[in-house]
């Protein structure tokens, strides 16, 4: 089990790699659907920011002893993702970037203050808190980084 600082390092490295790759994306692909399926770069950034914020909410629930409430009443993931993308499309890229950065910084702050003992807490879906944080954080950035790299390679091939 990693500690909060290790999770922060992992998140920052994954996020930096994704944003380094996004820097090579044509400016129009940052706001025009089609970079990753129907998503633009802006949609992707908003998506990642939303899920980083979700990890903060999960940590808060666990810290408050409300682990059984995690996920209760939440809409299905695909519905959440569609809503986030729809909102992103009507928001300027700079604002989306600021929101994502703020979500990540909130997650970093929570991780730095998190008791390591809580990382092993089981969430209702069976994952540990640590696994849930990774899923919404570093692993999520890495997942979309690989998709982005594939899309850019495919695009370069024509």
Helix (H, G, I), strand (E, B) or coil at 114: coil
Core vs surface per residue 50-68: b (16+ CB within 10 A) or e: bbbbbbbebbebbbeeebe
Whole-model pTM? 0.95
For residue range 96-121, what is the model confidence (pLDDT) as tens digits? 999 999 999 999 999 999 999 999 99
Is residue 150's pLDDT more than 70?
A: yes
Q: For residue 19, count CB atoms less than 10 angstroms from its CB and return exposed for 0-12, middle for 13-18, buried for 19 or more.
A: middle
pLDDT of residue 1 exceeding 80? no
Question: What architecture is the 4-157 domain classified under in CATH?
Answer: Up-down Bundle (1.20)
Domain ranges of the chain: 4-157
């Amino acid at each position: 089990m990693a500690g909060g600082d290790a999770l922060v390092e992992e998140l920052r490295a994954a996020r930096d790699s994704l944003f380094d790759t996004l820097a090579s994306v044509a400016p129009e692909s940052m706001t025009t659907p089609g970079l990753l399926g129907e998503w633009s770069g802006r949609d992707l950034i908003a998506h990642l920011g939303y899920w980083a914020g979700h990890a903060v909410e999960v940590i808060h629930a666990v810290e408050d002893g409300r682990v059984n409430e995690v996920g209760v009443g939440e809409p299905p993931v695909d519905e959440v993702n569609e809503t986030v993308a729809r909102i992103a499309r009507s928001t300027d890229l700079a604002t989306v970037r600021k929101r994502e950065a703020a979500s990540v910084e909130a997650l970093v702050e929570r991780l730095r203050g998190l008791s390591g003992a809580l990382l092993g807490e089981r969430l209702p879906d069976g994952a540990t808190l640590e696994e849930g944080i990774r899923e919404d954080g570093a692993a999520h950035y890495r997942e979309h980084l690989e998709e982005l790299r594939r899309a850019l390679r495919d695009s370069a091939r024509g």
